[in-house]
Amino acid sequence: MRELTESEMKTLFDKVANYTGRSLTNLIAPPSPDSAPSERFVFRLHESRVYYLKLALANLAVSVARENLLSLGTCLGKFTKTGKFRLHITALDIIAPHARYKIWIKPNGEMPFLYGGNIVKAHIGRWSEDCPEHQAVVVYSMDDTPLGFGVTARSTAESRRLDPTGITCFRQADIGEYLREEDTLFTT
Amino acid sequence: MAPLNSSRKKPSGGKGSSSSAKHKISKRPGIVPPLQPKTKSNPGLVKKKKRRVYTEKELGIPKLNTIKPVGVDIPKGKKRGKVFVDDQEGMMTILSIVNADKEGQIESKLMKSRHMEEVREARQKEAEARQEQKKSKLDETKDSLRRKGRRKLDLDLNGAVVKHQDENKESKTRRKRVSFA
């Protein structure tokens, strides 16, 4: 387990900033101005996976041998061998509160999405205005429960003219992966 | 170093037995030792003692005829290995750079999509106008054809009536002409 290097940090923020707006700074800011320095959140790299956790917990984890340490904090995703960063569904809880563009899907569209399907226009309840094409979005159910990540297939203006079966959002990750990828999600 | 050795040798070798007597005299209190003024009088010798000899490593002179691979040469005064970012300021600066970059990208995307939308709307309007023009032209030709058709029909009807009358007349005349041989 170690801290991230400058280039790794930039790659990570590059990916996360696709989904979030300026409020991403809240992720690394201390919880309150008068809080202890160990209370702030940090990123740690362990076996190519990036974890988001409190500094106090990271300091405790130092005492665990590398081969004995399985996981710590919340896993955001992992670095591929080519140096790119792949976001995991486990990062949804951290990213969802800071999402910039959102898509809400109707109850009849929840199951198709959670089984790994793309979102068709007929299943969309509402969406953020002025969303460009190929923009990363966070997908919510109509009762504001975050369901996953996606990428818009068309801009909002274009998708208005689309027929009901046309794909408006490509799936990137969904919470159905907790079951579908159960065997591989937490293993290295 | 060579002149130093020669100067030391001179008093011991050249003067022989008298040198031992001189040494005895110098040890006596109140008399200045003869060696001290000798060293002071030779300024070159003092300078050479003070001069510091620098090694090649200290000067940082590259060795001749050696090639160092790019990764192997480590710059002086820099941390070896990876540079980690764990302090909040460092993370904030990287984040602000990334955020500004993303904002610019999204802004340009939006501008592009708006521009494309405008172009698309203009094209649609143009197509609609062309379609209307075609339709009106077709309607006009249809109307004109209808008018022409009516006139012809009227004429034809008159002609037909006339023809019928002629036929009747002809038939009447023909009947009269029938004769049995």
Residues B163 and A85: their CA atoms lie apart, in Å, by 95
- pLDDT of A53 reads 93
Taking only the tens place, the pLDDT of each residue in B145-163 is: 999 888 776 666 565 555 5
pLDDT of residue B3: 46
The answer on pLDDT for A60 being more than 90 is yes
**What is the CATH topology of the domain spanning A2-94?**
Nuclear Transport Factor 2; Chain: A, (3.10.450)
Q: How confident is the model at residue A111, as a pLDDT?
A: 96
- Could you tell me the CA-to-CA distances from B48 to A56, B3, B158 in Å, in that order? 61, 11, 143
Quote the CA–CA distance of A87 and A173 in Å, as a whole number: 8
Beta bridge partners of A50: A45, A77
Residue B95 at interface with chain A, using a CB cutoff of 8 Å: yes
- Chain A residues with CB-CB distance to B113 below 8 A: 132-133, 155, 157-158
pLDDT of residue A163: 92
DSSP characters over B108-157:
HHHHHHHHHHHHHHHHHHHHHHHHHHHHHHHHHHHHHHHHHHHHHHHHHH
- pLDDT above 60 (res A52): yes
User: What was the pLDDT predicted at A178?
Assistant: 94
Is it true that A2-94 and A101-179 share their CATH fold?
no
Answer yes or no: are the C-beta atoms of A36 and A45 closer than 8 Å.
no
Cα A17 from Cα B96, distance rounded (Å): 10
> What is the pLDDT, as a whole number, of residue A143?
94
Q: Which of A1, A4, A154 to mutate to test the interface with B (most CBs of B within 10 A)?
A: A4
Q: Does B81 touch chain A (CB under 8 A)?
A: no
Mean pLDDT of A99-120: 95
Residue A107 or B15, more confident = A107
pLDDT at A65 over 90: yes
The CATH architecture annotation of domain A101-179 reads Roll (2.30)
Q: Is B176 or A35 the better-scoring residue by pLDDT?
A: A35
Q: How far apart are CA A19 and CA A85, in angstroms?
A: 14
What does the pLDDT read at residue A25?
87
pLDDT digit string (tens) for B77-124? 777 788 888 888 888 999 999 999 999 998 998 899 889 889 999 999
Is A136 within 8 Å of A101 (Cβ atoms)? yes
Q: CA of A106: how far to CAs of A4, A70, A124, A160, B126, in Å?
A: 39, 38, 6, 16, 37
Local structure of residue A74 (DSSP, 8 states)? E
Is residue B23 pLDDT above 60, yes or no?
Answer: no
Residue of B nearest to A158 (CA): B117
In this complex, is the C-beta atom of A170 within 8 Å of any C-beta atom belonging to chain B?
Answer: no
Each domain of chain A, given as residue ranges in start order, spans 2-94, 101-179
How much is the pLDDT for B151? 78
Residue B15 scores a pLDDT above 90: no
- pLDDT(B134) > 80: yes
Q: For residues B94 and A139, what is the distance between their CA atoms, to the nearest angstrom?
A: 27
Mutate which of A155, A159, A160, A162 to test chain B, going by most B C-beta atoms within 10 A?
Answer: A155
pTM, 2 dp: 0.66
A2-50 pLDDT tens trace: 999 999 999 999 999 999 988 888 888 877 777 787 888 999 999 899 9
- Interface check for B119 against chain A (CB to CB < 8 A): the answer is no
Residue A13 makes CB contacts below 8 A (sequence gap 6+) with A24, B94, B95, B98
Which of B92, B102, B106 is the closest to A25 by Cβ? B92
Residue A150: is its pLDDT beyond 80?
A: yes
B91 at the A interface (CB within 8 A)?
A: yes
Q: How far is CA A170 from the centre of its chain?
A: 15
Beta strand segments in B19-91, E? 84-85
> For residues A148 and A87, is the Cβ–Cβ distance under 8 A?
no
